[in-house]
């Protein structure tokens, strides 16, 4: 059986990963405190084209996207036979004047939207007064088996001082990429 690959160049499967269109494309799972808000970066991002971010508040804020792989042009046969690497990336940073937490969960799902493989590291906690620059979270799914039809990308966090407003974790430049197999 021959599997044709439609897409040769990697592209980000997430919509609005840099808060350029407010919260468009994202489903709000939890909107704690004063909720999610987009804002201009307070700290320059390593990629100077990234100028905006999503900001959390004083209670847990989580947002999510569900990616339908068939809708994005990846056939069931392609996903099952080739099982291409799936790379996720997320950038996050705290404010120096407030402690915060960051969390992420990315799931590869079957047709019934049941998890096949999950990436969910422990929460990252920043204390008040830290000068942490932008941090990158990266994971590559490999050898996950057949049946992947959807990817559910969920991330967010909160501030740990419980200050009114938007003092929580900042996230931006998130991505989910299907990595094409090497050309032989």
Does residue 1 register a pLDDT over 90?
Answer: no
- Residue scoring higher pLDDT (159 or 28): 28
pLDDT of residue 41: 93
Walk me through the domains of the chain, giving residue ranges and CATH numbers. Answer: 27-178 (2.60.120.260)
Q: How far is CA 113 from CA 67, 87, 144, 167, in A?
A: 11, 19, 15, 34
- The string of DSSP codes covering the chain is -----S--S----SSSTTSTTTTTT-EEEEE-TT--EEEE-SS--SSTT--EEEE--SS-EEEEEEEETTTTT--HHIIIII---EEEEEEEE--TTS-EEEEEEEEEE-TTS-EEEEE-PPPEEE-TT-----EEEEEEE-S--S---EEEEEEEEEESS--SSS-S-EEEEEEEEEPPPPP-
Q: For 76-89, how does the pLDDT look when each residue is reduced to its tens digit (9 = 90+)?
A: 999 999 999 999 99
Q: For 10-42, how does the pLDDT look when each residue is reduced to its tens digit (9 = 90+)?
A: 799 999 999 999 999 999 999 998 999 999 998
pLDDT of residue 180: 77
178-184: average pLDDT: 72
pLDDT band of residue 3 (cuts 50, 70, 90) is very low
Residue of 173, 174, 182, 146 lying closest to 74 (CA atoms) = 146
**Cβ-contact 46, 38 below 8 angstroms:** no
Percent of the chain with pLDDT over 90: 76
pLDDT band of residue 183 (cuts 50, 70, 90) is low
Does residue 161 register a pLDDT over 90?
Answer: no
Does residue 129 register a pLDDT over 80?
Answer: no
132-155: average pLDDT: 95
38-53: average pLDDT: 94
Q: Angle CA(63)–CA(70)–CA(88) in degrees, nearest 5?
A: 45
Does residue 116 register a pLDDT over 70?
Answer: yes
């Amino acid at each position: 059986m021959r599997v044709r690959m439609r897409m040769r160049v990697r592209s980000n499967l997430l919509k609005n990963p840099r808060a350029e269109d407010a919260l468009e494309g994202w489903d709000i799972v939890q909107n704690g405190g004063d909720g999610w808000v987009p804002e201009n970066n307070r700290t320059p991002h390593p990629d100077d084209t990234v100028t905006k971010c999503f900001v959390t508040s004083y209670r847990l804020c989580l947002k999510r996207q569900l990616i339908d792989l068939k809708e994005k042009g990846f056939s069931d046969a392609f996903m099952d036979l080739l099982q291409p690497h799936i790379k996720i990336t997320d950038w996050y940073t705290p404010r120096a004047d407030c402690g915060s937490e960051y969390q992420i969960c990315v799931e590869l799902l079957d047709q019934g939207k049941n998890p096949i493989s999950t990436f969910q590291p422990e929460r990252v906690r920043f204390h008040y007064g830290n000068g942490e620059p932008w941090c990158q979270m990266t994971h590559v799914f490999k050898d996950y088996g057949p049946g992947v039809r959807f990817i559910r990308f969920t991330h967010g966090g909160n501030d740990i001082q419980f200050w009114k407003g938007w003092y929580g974790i900042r996230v931006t430049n998130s991505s989910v990429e299907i990595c094409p197999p090497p050309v032989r």
